[in-house]
Chain A
């Protein structure tokens, strides 16, 4: 793959430092080791105040509208959310409620989440995966869940978590391609 892959990452963290941001950055770093990528990182903590106040797309500030456009045209989405009430955050869902329902067809999505304990690990498969299944996106087979004990000072501090990140990226690589080659023009338009 000579042309850079257009990767858009959405991290649901609402503050810095953040374990969710650390997990997102670790996934992106792992990707960068294998393929040439162009990365746009969207932090919900940054766009949250203007995003939460908007109910229609025309109420969004230009910068947030551009973020959504970026999501809709990405070659690969990396999405990560902290676990609230055994699911993704409300703001995370609010962002994807603005994304056109046909814009993510066949787009690979790497799912990630962070939570206080192992007990919420299945949010990947029972909450995040169905959301992107609605979009008919290509949810990648291995998602990454990080528990609080696997971080230290908001950095990844656990080899098992590092191994899961490496595995998720390794399994994703054969499924990645440029959108214009894989998606009919009607969707990209």
Chain B
């Protein structure tokens, strides 16, 4: 069974980026993929700030990433870049930590004007960790991600559709995809009409 680690770069638990990440994790889990989630709250401040590689919580992250097939990272866009919170988590990873992984970036921001933060701020950091393959990510604005009355994040149709596409692509790039497929026929059709590339 493929395993995917999720890293949440939001400092708060109720955030759009966390909600988008939860949604993506739920869709992956429904395909039989094991999800191992990590957030800032999983680490004591000392271990985060001084990157204590021997701390048990950091060791758990290292083990999880080392044995995972993929990584999903989510961040709010702060100051036209990824959050410091996400960078603290990424700084805990050893060099070349992602060299065997497919990586899917997710980001949320106040307006469309910061969409390129994914390509020009976040992706270079993932590349520095030697990510084997970075799947084109999803960027959602506050208008496209709203809170429902039940407290769940509502995805605008265009974002939900894009997320399905990139998750299919992400699964196709997992080094050990097992039997997990969102819908092989739908994926094949999209590849055939070049709506997405794998």
Contacts and interface: CB of A to CB of B under 8 A. Distances in A.
A binds B: yes
Interface of A: 86, 117-123, 125-127, 145
Interface of B: 80, 111-117, 119-121
A117 B113 CA distance: 8
The 9 residue pairs across chains A and B that have the minimum distance between CB atoms: A126-B120, A122-B116, A121-B113, A118-B112, A119-B115, A118-B113, A119-B112, A126-B116, A122-B80
B114 A121 contact: yes
A86 B113 contact: no
Contacts of B114: 121-122
Nearest to A83: B116
Contacts, number: 32
Q: Which of A118, A119, A122, A123 is packed against the most chain B CB atoms within 10 Å? A: A122
Nearest to A130: B120
A121 B109 CA distance: 13
10 contacts: A119-B115, A120-B115, A120-B116, A122-B80, A122-B113, A122-B114, A122-B115, A126-B119, A127-B120, A145-B113
Given A119-B112, A120-B115, 11 more contacts: A86-B119, A118-B113, A119-B113, A120-B116, A121-B114, A122-B114, A122-B115, A122-B116, A125-B80, A126-B116, A145-B113
Contacts of A126: 116, 119-121
A90 to B, nearest CB: 18
Contacts of A121: 112-114, 116
Nearest to B120: A126
Contacts of B116: 86, 119-123, 126
A122 B112 contact: no
Contacts of B120: 122, 126-127
A117 B119 contact: no
